[in-house]
């Protein structure tokens, strides 16, 4: 028996307007950061001015997010955080508030910033629709990619944290992360995930685990 996953902390469900047409709930904080994004990189980027760069793509939104950070080498505090992304308002608002969170009050250390979770971002925004949760994941991943980049540039390889992954199909070498990305790209059925990853084509014994992961990631990101 499967149980419906509880809503992620900080998310908001769909609400109906007075004329009973569906609309999504967006807090005033989300609207503020969408219409007036903080720390957005308006000009051409001179990457030599920054000592940490991160990027991540999310086909679910059609976004590619890039971030540039200045990190104090002595304190490892984030003193500046700039970003660019194109696409949905939730991705813009999430990255805008994240840029404020990591630089306010003198800046977070890289260790502190790495502990920041998507739920923390959504809490500061006053919540996001459940179907837009993946937007907060987007900026969280870009931030962690930039932190790894700083440690790579400063030869602190022992501090680099790679995303853990688990091989689901030993034949095709498909991991749980591959399936997660396929779901984010819109592959919400086993057939579509197989088209993208070839998981289980030569090893049908793994398909029950694949189907369980598809259900998990659909519920996690899309409610």
114 or 221: which carries more pLDDT confidence?
114
The secondary element (H helix, E strand) that includes residue 54 is: strand 52-58
Assign residue 172 the CATH number of its domain: 1.10.10
> For 160-192, what is each residue's pLDDT tens digit?
988 768 899 999 899 998 898 888 778 999 999
pLDDT at residue number 185: 78
Burial class (CB in 10 A: 0-12, 13-18, 19+), 57: middle
Q: Could you tell me the sign of the dihedral formed by the alpha carbons of 109, 112, 160, 217, in that order? A: negative
d(CA 156, CA 104): 25
pLDDT at residue number 4: 42
- For range 110-130, the mean pLDDT: 86
Same-domain pairing of 28 and 124: yes
- Residue 80: pLDDT band by 50, 70, 90 thresholds? very high
- Residue 63 in this model has a pLDDT that exceeds 70: no
- Provide the domain limits for residue 187: 167-222
In percent, how much of the chain has pLDDT > 90? 48
Determine the Cα angle at 116 with ends 137 and 186, to 5°.
5
Residue ending a domain, among 115, 136, 159, is: 159
Q: 4 in a domain, yes or no?
A: no
- Give the total residue count for the chain: 223
Residue ending a domain, among 159, 187, 207, is: 159
Same-domain pairing of 89 and 198: no
d(CA 126, CA 102): 18
Assign residue 66 the CATH number of its domain: 3.90.1010.10
Q: Are strands 174-175 and 167-169 parallel, antiparallel or unpaired?
A: antiparallel
Residue ending a domain, among 125, 159, 193, is: 159
Same-domain pairing of 148 and 179: no
CB atoms within 10 A of CB 199: 26
pLDDT at residue number 148: 94
Question: Catalytic residue at 135?
Answer: yes
Q: Which of 73, 23, 60 is nearest to 180 (CA)?
A: 60
> For 147-163, what is each residue's pLDDT tens digit?
999 999 999 999 998 87
Q: Could you tell me the sign of the dihedral formed by the alpha carbons of 200, 205, 211, 212, in that order? A: negative
DSSP 169-206: ETTTTEEHHHHHHHHHTT--SHHHHHHHH-TTSS-GGG
pLDDT at residue number 222: 73
Lookup result for tokens 């197989």: 194
Token output for 88:
């949905």
Q: 1 in a domain, yes or no?
A: no
Counts for the chain of helices (H) and strands (E), in that order: 8, 9
Q: Which of 61, 88, 139, 206 is the catalytic position?
A: 61
Q: 2 in a domain, yes or no?
A: no
Question: Catalytic residue at 88?
Answer: no
Q: Which of 88, 135, 139, 206 is the catalytic position?
A: 135
């Amino acid at each position: 028996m499967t149980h419906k996953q509880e809503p992620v902390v900080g998310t908001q469900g769909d609400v109906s307007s007075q004329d009973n047409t569906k609309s999504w709930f967006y807090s005033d904080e989300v609207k503020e950061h969408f219409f007036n994004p903080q720390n957005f990189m308006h000009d051409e980027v001179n990457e030599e001015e920054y000592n940490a760069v991160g990027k991540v793509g999310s086909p679910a939104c059609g976004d590619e997010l890039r971030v540039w950070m200045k990190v104090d080498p002595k304190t490892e505090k984030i003193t500046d955080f700039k970003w660019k992304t194109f696409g949905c308002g939730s991705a813009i608002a999430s990255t805008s508030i994240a840029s404020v969170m990591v630089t306010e009050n003198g800046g977070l250390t890289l260790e502190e910033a790495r502990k920041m979770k998507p739920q923390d971002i959504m809490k500061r925004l006053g919540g996001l629709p459940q179907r837009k949760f993946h937007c907060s994941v987007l900026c969280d991943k870009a931030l962690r990619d930039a932190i790894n980049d700083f440690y790579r540039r400063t030869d602190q390889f022992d501090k680099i944290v790679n995303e853990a992954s688990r091989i689901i199909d030993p034949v095709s070498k498909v991991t749980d992360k591959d399936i997660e990305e396929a779901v984010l790209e819109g592959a919400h059925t086993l057939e579509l995930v197989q088209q993208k990853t070839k998981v289980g084509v030569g090893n049908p014994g793994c398909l029950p685990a694949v189907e369980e992961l598809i259900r998990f990631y659909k519920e996690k990101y899309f409610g």
